[in-house]
Amino acid sequence: MKVETLQKLLDLDRRWIFLFVLIAAVGARVFEFDLPSHPKHHVIVVYDEIERLANEDATLLLSMDYDPSGKPELEPMSRAVLRHAFSRNVKIVGMTHNPHGQNLGQNVLEEVAAEYGKQYGEDFVYLGYKAGFATLIINMGQDFYDAFPYDFKGVDVRTYPVTESINSLSDFGYVLSIASNAAWEMWMIFGREKYRFSLGTGVTGVIAPDVFPFLQTGQIKGLLGGLAGAAEYETLINKPDRALVGMRPQSAVHVLLALLVIFGNTVFFLEKYYRRKRRI
């Protein structure tokens, strides 16, 4: 093989790779095929925690701390968890630490609640966004009503049956932070360590590796990592939706990238080999 040809392949314009990725993603989305999804242990833990809430008649605090940039990964996750919780009649309090995510959280909560015929105030409440991050979490732990006297509609939170027994973060059976920012970390540092509630998280793929050390220690109970985590949860609740569909193009692109890495390395070593051989 000619060294020049190999060199040309090594200098391949990156726009060709973008085009291959686009073709792989669109092709895998348009042509339907099934891919198996096997829930991992840390995803099953989240499922078990929601089941525990249903059995103990406890309340879930779902903090949807994501913005539009995290929506493709995290909204399917929120939807799957909400479907599971509503199907088991778990009461839900929703909120967000992300000012860009206020409407995203509200929309998904109301959509899924409507699917299961759940009533606002009776079965779920949405508190909306409030600034503060760490200080807000501490405030919620000290006095829940002082932190959130009103919900996002401006109605007194004390008037809702779903929040009447909540005085502090410790009164929630499980807190799940679905985050595209450092909110999950804030919940752990300023919430869980101080008020000792059970905390789980659902995060984007970029953040997921940072969470693993805290799974081992038990500081975080359950993790949904990226679109794959959402797809595994959909498999667990047996309600295939956007995450499982999205895993098809995702997997196709992963295979393509793995092949490109192998191809690039092979060409690199071949080029080196032929160049050395020619000199000899």
Which residues bind to other proteins, rule: CB under 8 A? 15, 18, 21, 25-26, 29-30, 69, 71-73, 99-100, 102, 128-131, 134-135, 138, 150, 152, 154, 188-190, 193-194, 204-206, 208-209, 213, 216-219, 225-228, 242, 245-246, 249-250, 253-254, 257
Using CA atoms, how far residue 47 sits from 39, 88, 229, 257, 268, in Å, is 10, 11, 12, 32, 46
- Which of 128, 222 has the CB closer to other proteins? 128
Question: Which residue's entry shows tokens 């919620």?
Answer: 140
CB 144 within 8 A of CB 130: no
- Which of 173, 226 has the CB closer to other proteins? 226
- Which of 53, 208 has the CB closer to other proteins? 208
CB of 56 to other proteins, least distance (A): 25
Residue 24: which residues within 8 A CB-CB, separation 6 or more?
249, 252, 253, 255, 256
Q: Which residues pair with 124 in a beta bridge?
A: 92, 120
CB of 19 to other proteins, least distance (A): 9
CB of 94 to other proteins, least distance (A): 14
Q: Half-sphere exposure (CA, 13 Å, Cβ side) for 211?
A: 32
Of 268, 248, 259, 277, nearest in space to 26 by CA: 248
CB of 114 to other proteins, least distance (A): 18
CB of 2 to other proteins, least distance (A): 26
- Which of 52, 242 has the CB closer to other proteins? 242
